[in-house]
Structure 1
Amino acid sequence: MTNAPALASQSDARLDWPSLFATRSTRMKASEIRELLKLLDKPEVISFAGGIPDPALFPTEAFREGLNQALTGPAAGQALQYSVSEGYLPLREWLVERMKSLGVPCGVDNIIVTSGSQQALDYLGKLFLSPSDTALVTWPSYMGALSAFNAYEPEYDRLAPFSNREPGDYAKMAAEKGGVVKFAYMSADFANPSGETLSQAARERVLDLAEELDIAVIEDAAYQSLRYDGEEVATLLSLDIARCGSIEAARTIYCGSFSKTLAPGLRVGWVCASSKVISKLVLMKQASDLHSATLNQISINHVARSVFDVQIEKIVSVYRSRRDRMLQALEAHMPEGVTWTRPDGGMFVWVTLPEGMDGAELLAASLKHENVAFVPGKAFFADCSGANTLRLSFSCANESQIDEGVGRLGRAVRLVQGHKAEDLS
């Protein structure tokens, strides 16, 4: 018995695990957001870090009814059984109607249900990217997408619809890096992290570029339903279909999610695209996890059919008020030289600090002196730039927490600025 630890230690030393890992594993990094979410368990910390919905707003009664119906009567066997990889048919039928309301005529063969839209991004990275191929992404971009794509060893180039770059320049840069451009990825509505929305003109420019390069377009629509102000802008997929005539001819792949509207814990998202793309994603689903949890899909289908529009109206009202309060608090408490976006929807305000300040340093000072958390912006840039930026989420903080937390954050900014000034003197 006394020799067991020594034997275990010797065994561990014999096996060099890193030498067995695939080269792609070196590009897998811990999520800063996942780590920061641990702070939610500390009551003294006011967190603007996690881009997560407020659990107090979940339609729990509708889910209770849906789960009860799924687990009673003859349907119980189906809810607990293996299912088809494409997804629960009634849910896919509801999604067909949802996509039609967004200007996207399609059928059930154009829909696959995934385990959240994060799984969809992973599958699309796997489907399109060979090592050294180029993905066009925005600067900044959703860090979960970068994490998903990183596993497939791509290169990145900056997607800027109104830049002066010619399409051939993107192709040339990709060739110099040893691959070709495969897709353009963006969150067109209330983007994570910037909160910004692409105008219709910008969306048309993205489609023009994609046609010139003959590449796919991945539209991440996780926040598309959360509009608080302004006129709705047509989805990239609907604009694409208007150009080419049908979803089967479209190059745009729409990734949707119930995580920000109904509840994230059930992990239900979907992809809407040409059946040629969906058929490949079905094969990946079969090889990966067979299918998304049937019980969860049945429950989501019940809630979507019974309360979706009411739920959207409720959360939009609450989040709009919190967005307004955060913008007011930033105006009141941020020192001169700090700027921020004014989003028309979503969950985020993107803050730019004066040149020379570092968001990671500010986070350390903010946690130590003010008990306020946020996400430093550097992780959202494919080239690790943007050190003087940060993301604030207003979705899970009430108005008094926003007032207090932004006030504290303003003090932390001034503290760090003072230290910088002392270092220069």
Structure 2
Amino acid sequence: MTHHFRFSSRESRMKASEIRELLKLLDRPDIISFAGGIPDAALFPADAFRQAYGEVLEGAGAGAVLQYSPSEGHPGLRDWIAEEMGRLGIPCGRDNIVITSGSQQALDFLGKLFLSPGDTALVTWPTYLGALQAFNACEPNYDRLDAMANRAPADYAGQAGEKGGSVKFAYLSPDFANPTGETMTGAQRERVLDFADALDIAVIEDGAYQSLRYDGEAIPPLLALEIARKGGIDDCRTIYCGTFSKTLSPGLRIGWVCAARDIVSRLVILKQAGDLHSATINQVAMERVARSCFHEQVERIRAVYAARRDRMLRALEREMPAQVQWTRPEGGMFVWLTLPEGLDGAALLARSVEWERVAFVPGRAFFPDGSGANTLRLSFSCAPGDMIDEGIRRLAGLVREAVGQVDRGRLAGAA
């Protein structure tokens, strides 16, 4: 029997994640995967977590970690996060922190908090696919956030008004962004804050890769820059989203929001409606592990990922044809390739998986308007050095062949 349910209007904007689908390829031993933007499981501090869970389940305290807990999150974990934010130049307290089930839940909540159907979200072009998925359910429009473009704030507001809504926030990942690996300069960050003040909108700062800097000078987060301007976090419009997923463990699904207390209190209400609270035992164990080894763990993974990044950049330089361009990230997990016009990343992926057993993510999924067909994202975080060399060699061969076909087609057309 076929049912004809009357779904909401937002359901049509809910799409499966191309990246989550590609992750299924990781289970195939014959595939060299540069697709998943995930940390290397071999680097997780498993012993520290094993000890932490054992300790929290011992004695009279076991009942508490198996019980319901405050929607705001475990107080001890929020205290540690507040201390860590202070090290980033963001002085704050426990009341400025709410724990979420990964930063993905934070993006979902923030979309619900700010967006009504027809409103406009300013995003970088391209931008994180998971953010688009979170915001799409709220039925927004998207406009391009370009920090240094000669575009007046009134222009953004005017275009949003023509579409029946208003600009509600700017979303960006300023450090080693997913998918491009690029980092915003200090001047670009200040420009975003100027725009936000002029438009009277929120700034959602996605700090998922904040800890993964391998070289270059650290640049203060936007929230730190705004606090320097305005004197305190409760006077700021920037909302910082953090996560343990790229440093300690993604499987525990623990992220956080650091923001003005007014924003946090509203997010707590959404948290209560969404899932009551994140898992108590996971939060308590995460606090223990963070206090015992967070900074040592970060140094460890930085060394490994930096070596893999360098290996990928050398392989690209050695193997790729001159017509291909790519980013050279100072941190994070990604290198972004731009192919010559006329090439399609999705079509290249199909041939790459079938013929060369190499996977990557086509770039179109990261553009709200469906552009960027000639781009693709490579992740180096889970690929050992020899695998990187071999995978890039295979991929470059396909690209050279595709470039040659396009060039021959253009010559034939010109004749």
2:83 to 87, 97, 107: 97
1:417 has 2:403 as partner: yes
User: Residues 369 and 412 of structure 1 are in contact (CA less than 8 Å); yes or no, is this contact kept in structure 2?
Assistant: no
CA positional deviation for 1:418: 3.5
- SS of 1:219's equivalent? strand
Inter-partner Cα distance in structure 1 for 2:64 and 2:409: 66
Structure 1, residues 345-384: CA drift from partner, whole Å, max 9, x if none?
Answer: 0000000000111100110111111100000000001111
User: Residues 229 and 345 of structure 1 are in contact (CA less than 8 Å); yes or no, is this contact kept in structure 2?
Assistant: yes
Amino acid at match of 1:253: I
Structure 1, residues 127-152: CA drift from partner, whole Å, max 9, x if none?
Answer: 00000000000001000000000000
1:405 to 387, 391, 396: 391
Counterparts of 1:127-138 in structure 2, within 5 Å, are: 127-138=113-124
CA positional deviation for 1:78: 1.0
CA positional deviation for 1:417: 2.5
1:294 paired residue number: 280
- SS of 1:400's equivalent? helix
Structure 1, residues 268-319: CA drift from partner, whole Å, max 9, x if none?
Answer: 0000000100001000010110000011101111110000010000000000
1:271 to 240, 257, 280: 257
Inter-partner Cα distance in structure 2 for 1:187 and 1:116: 16
2:19 to 10, 30, 33: 33
Amino acid at match of 1:131: P
Aligned residue pairs total 411
Amino acid at match of 1:98: E
1:16 has 2:16 as partner: no
1:222 has 2:208 as partner: yes
1:395 paired residue number: 381
Amino acid at match of 1:59: P
- SS of 2:22's equivalent? helix
Inter-partner Cα distance in structure 2 for 1:272 and 1:74: 32
1:115 paired residue number: 101
CA positional deviation for 1:412: 1.1
2:348 paired residue number: 362
Structure 1, residues 54-106: CA drift from partner, whole Å, max 9, x if none?
Answer: 00000000000111011111221111100010000100010110011111111
2:241 paired residue number: 255
Q: So what's the TM-score if we normalise by structure 1?
A: 0.96
2:51 paired residue number: 65
- SS of 2:179's equivalent? coil
- SS of 1:360's equivalent? helix
1:283 has 2:277 as partner: no
2:165 paired residue number: 179
1:373 has 2:373 as partner: no
CA positional deviation for 1:420: 3.1
Amino acid at match of 1:167: P
User: Residues 104 and 130 of structure 2 are in contact (CA less than 8 Å); yes or no, is this contact kept in structure 1?
Assistant: yes
1:167 to 127, 136, 153: 153
Inter-partner Cα distance in structure 2 for 1:417 and 1:32: 25
1:194 paired residue number: 180
Amino acid at match of 1:16: H
- SS of 1:74's equivalent? helix
Structure 1, residues 255-276: CA drift from partner, whole Å, max 9, x if none?
Answer: 0000000010000000000010
Structure 1, residues 328-359: CA drift from partner, whole Å, max 9, x if none?
Answer: 00001101200000000000000000011110
Structure 1, residues 123-182: CA drift from partner, whole Å, max 9, x if none?
Answer: 000000000000000001000000000000000000001101001000000000110000
1:245 has 2:231 as partner: yes
2:218 paired residue number: 232
1:140 to 126, 129, 135: 126
- SS of 1:185's equivalent? strand
Amino acid at match of 2:82: V
Inter-partner Cα distance in structure 2 for 1:422 and 1:220: 43
2:302 to 316, 319, 328: 316
1:352 to 338, 348, 357: 338
User: Residues 340 and 403 of structure 2 are in contact (CA less than 8 Å); yes or no, is this contact kept in structure 1?
Assistant: no
CA positional deviation for 1:423: 4.6
Inter-partner Cα distance in structure 2 for 1:76 and 1:417: 61
- SS of 1:61's equivalent? helix
Inter-partner Cα distance in structure 1 for 2:104 and 2:115: 16
CA positional deviation for 1:421: 4.3
Amino acid at match of 2:65: A
Amino acid at match of 2:297: Q
Inter-partner Cα distance in structure 2 for 1:337 and 1:244: 46
1:3 paired residue number: none
Q: Percent identity?
A: 65
- SS of 1:161's equivalent? coil
Amino acid at match of 1:143: L
Inter-partner Cα distance in structure 2 for 1:208 and 1:236: 11
1:8 paired residue number: none
1:75 to 55, 61, 78: 61
User: Residues 44 and 371 of structure 1 are in contact (CA less than 8 Å); yes or no, is this contact kept in structure 2?
Assistant: yes
Inter-partner Cα distance in structure 2 for 1:258 and 1:143: 19
User: Residues 86 and 291 of structure 1 are in contact (CA less than 8 Å); yes or no, is this contact kept in structure 2?
Assistant: yes
CA positional deviation for 1:422: 5.1
- SS of 2:72's equivalent? coil
Q: So what's the TM-score if we normalise by structure 2?
A: 0.98
CA RMSD after TM alignment: 0.8
User: Residues 365 and 416 of structure 1 are in contact (CA less than 8 Å); yes or no, is this contact kept in structure 2?
Assistant: no
- SS of 2:59's equivalent? coil
